[in-house]
Structure 1
Amino acid sequence: MAAVAQTPHTPLEGYVGFDSITSQIEAKLLKRGFALNIMVVGQTGLGKSTLVNTLFSSHLIESKGRLESHEAVRKTTEIHPVSHLVIENGVKLRLNIVDTPGYGDQVNNDNCWDPIVKYIKDQHSAYLRKELTAMRDRYIADTRIHVCLFFINPTGHGLRPIDVAVMKKLSDVVNVVPVIAKSDSLTLDERDLFKERIRAEMQYNNIRVYPFDNEEYEDEERELNERIRALIPFAVVGSEKQVVIDGKSVRGRKNRYGVINVENENHCEFVYLRNFLTRTHLQDLIETTAHIHYEQFRSKQLLALKESSSRQQAQQQAQQSNGV
């Protein structure tokens, strides 16, 4: 008796149901990968590069601070984007880090924020041009800044007037997340008081930092955002060095009083910041950039183009009338 050939099963012969669309979307997204664009802003010498490297456990950008105590602080002199592909459990993340010159370093710091704001707007403008192209790409490379980590000097006194000015300008165009740099220079009581002062000053000066309130959020998301806002500004410590604590190697900083374990929640809030950026709010940062900051920019640009076109038409009509 002849054997019956077995037809191999195909995906079309499996489970039928529209709820499988989630796995289809997931497969496509995993294949394409994700992009996260982070900008770091703050005074020179606050450890911006070191913190970014600590966040992603990789040497992504060169630290500009002192390598030795006797050295002068090295400075970032221009806005410098660096791109890296990070792969974790099969998920590809195109990580773009934008390092900025330390502001407030000059004698005259008038409008020192202009190059930073211009860079953010230029990325919006580049994305808009690609969107308006007749033969546009199927997937537009996204260089829009999704989050700006704003580094605050751990003075314990509060924000400087220039800090307030820069934060206000940035919060209009990007998701701003303030962090207290090198927070191990403060005692826990000093740190808590400093955080309260900064929150009060941000509220007084109407500085709107991320995460925002949104009516579309579920109760669980709102509760999470409330907990995040209670932590802001994150008091963090960054370190790429490995130190040994109780026979275990951890990332930390050693001083005359002991060792600061970067990932110990009792020492600093680094773990909360990392989870916030990579686990709980990564996608929301991307969506908020697109739906709020970019959309505001896009609306203003298109209205300006419409008004300019109307003026040109009016001028042409006036010239034709004068010619007649």
Structure 2
Amino acid sequence: MSLQPTTTINDYVGFDTVSKQMERKFLKRGLNFNVILVGESGMGKTTLVNTIFAGHLVDSNGRKAAQEQPRKTTEIVPTTQVIEENGVRLKLTIVDTPGFGDQTNNEGCWIPVIKYIKDQHAAYLERELKPQRERSINDSRVHACLYFLNPGSRSLRPIDIEVLRRLTEVVNVIPILSKSDSISLAERAVIKKRIKEELAQHRINLYPYPSEEDLDEDTAMNAHIKELIPFAVVGSENVFTENGVTIRGRRHAWGTINVDDEEHCDFVHLRDFILRTHMYDLIEITAQRHYETFRTQQLRQIKELRAAQAQAQGIAQPMQSQPMIQKQQV
């Protein structure tokens, strides 16, 4: 005789709560986000970063007064701070680099930047290949490169083309037309159009990249971003009152620039792009695209080196527990 159930089975299983479980783990662990600033001196790189993150995250090397000479970054300087917003903890690293393009001889000026990016990949790979890996590997890989273009150049210079080609091979590059309040709106439109054409002509592949996994809304969003690139921005840490409203901006003889006004510049679009819509994608693409390419190359080189050593000695070499990752040559 078969037993009949006396109660109704609830069809709800509960695995749809996995997103909340992941969110709790994610919030507890926190997030690493690393940004490198590249461009010539005097383009307001650190000022813009401080504007984006609404605080003095990086000490500005620029002029404190109009009569001062511009100060220049002379070496690669990473600055790390932990910031928290609504329970989300972000370990933010801003890497300032020496300005280039304004020297008499700019040959190889990109080498220290490329080497720094690859060295972070190498450090991560070395920690990843340890016999006893850390439970959570500190991620120092560069997730985004803000590349600053001089609006006074009116187009891409040969040095910009060369550096952008090399940078896009190892990092997600976001081009920025800095200090855009120095040109009129009509000039800005012409310059942006010319730069877009030059980027396409030289086949410089900028972030965001097309993906078959993108949803329709992602594709539309990325198309909008592509239209805005390069972002024409104005950075300012000055806060003042204009017509009874507190704003961040810059005062000129002809009027006031409000950096948070979409009609004045693309700052809001850039901030939302980096922080509110694409931050996690920047981190994920770094791991899946740039780091994976580096990792594959390194492991292939290690395998070829061991095979050559074994062949030279006439014996099979045992696998070492921790391969030595070579310092990067650019």
TM interval, shorter chain, is over 0.9
Q: Name the SS for the 2:236 alignment partner.
A: coil
Question: Is the CA contact (8 Å cut-off) linking 1:182 and 1:238 kept in structure 2?
Answer: yes
Q: What amino acid sits opposite 2:88 in the alignment? A: V
Question: Is the CA contact (8 Å cut-off) linking 1:179 and 1:235 kept in structure 2?
Answer: yes
| Segments ≥4 residues shifted beyond 2 Å | none
**Aligned-partner Cα distance in 2 for 1:76–1:131:** 32
Q: TM-score under structure 2 normalisation? A: 0.91
Matched, 1:114 2:131: no
2:158 to 141, 158, 161: 161
**Aligned-partner Cα distance in 2 for 1:189–1:290:** 39
**Which residue number in structure 2 is paired with residue 253 of structure 1?**
250
Q: What amino acid sits opposite 2:225 in the alignment? A: I
**Which residue number in structure 1 is paired with residue 224 of structure 2?**
227
Q: What is the Cα deviation at residue 16 of structure 1?
A: 4.9
**Which residue number in structure 2 is paired with residue 188 of structure 1?**
185
**Which residue number in structure 2 is paired with residue 63 of structure 1?**
60
1:315 to 312, 316, 323: 312
Q: What is the Cα deviation at residue 106 of structure 1?
A: 2.4
Q: What is the Cα deviation at residue 50 of structure 1?
A: 0.1
Query: Following superposition of structure 1 onto structure 2, how do residues 120-131 of structure 1 map, counting pairs within 5 Å?
Result: 120-131=117-128
Q: Name the SS for the 1:155 alignment partner.
A: helix
Question: Is the CA contact (8 Å cut-off) linking 1:156 and 1:190 kept in structure 2?
Answer: no
Query: Following superposition of structure 1 onto structure 2, how do residues 99-110 of structure 1 map, counting pairs within 5 Å?
Result: 99-110=96-107
**Aligned-partner Cα distance in 2 for 1:151–1:210:** 15
Matched, 1:91 2:88: yes
Q: Which runs of 5+ in 1 are unaligned?
A: 1-14, 319-324
1:38-93 Cα deviation digits (max 9, x unpaired)? 01101000000000000000101111111112111100000000001111111111
**Aligned-partner Cα distance in 1 for 2:194–2:63:** 29
1:184-226 Cα deviation digits (max 9, x unpaired)? 1111110011001111111111111100001111111111100
**Which residue number in structure 2 is paired with residue 9 of structure 1?**
none
Q: What amino acid sits opposite 1:301 in the alignment? A: Q
| RMSD of Structure 2 on Structure 1 (CA) | 1.0
Q: Name the SS for the 1:212 alignment partner.
A: coil
Count of aligned residue pairs for this structure pair: 304
**Which residue number in structure 2 is paired with residue 39 of structure 1?**
36
Tell me which of the two structures has the higher relative contact order, counting C-alpha pairs closer than 8 angstroms and 6 or more residues apart: 2
Q: TM-score under structure 1 normalisation? A: 0.92
Q: What is the Cα deviation at residue 263 of structure 1?
A: 0.1
Q: Which runs of 5+ in 2 are unaligned?
A: 1-11, 316-330
Q: What amino acid sits opposite 2:142 in the alignment? A: I
**Aligned-partner Cα distance in 1 for 2:309–2:100:** 41
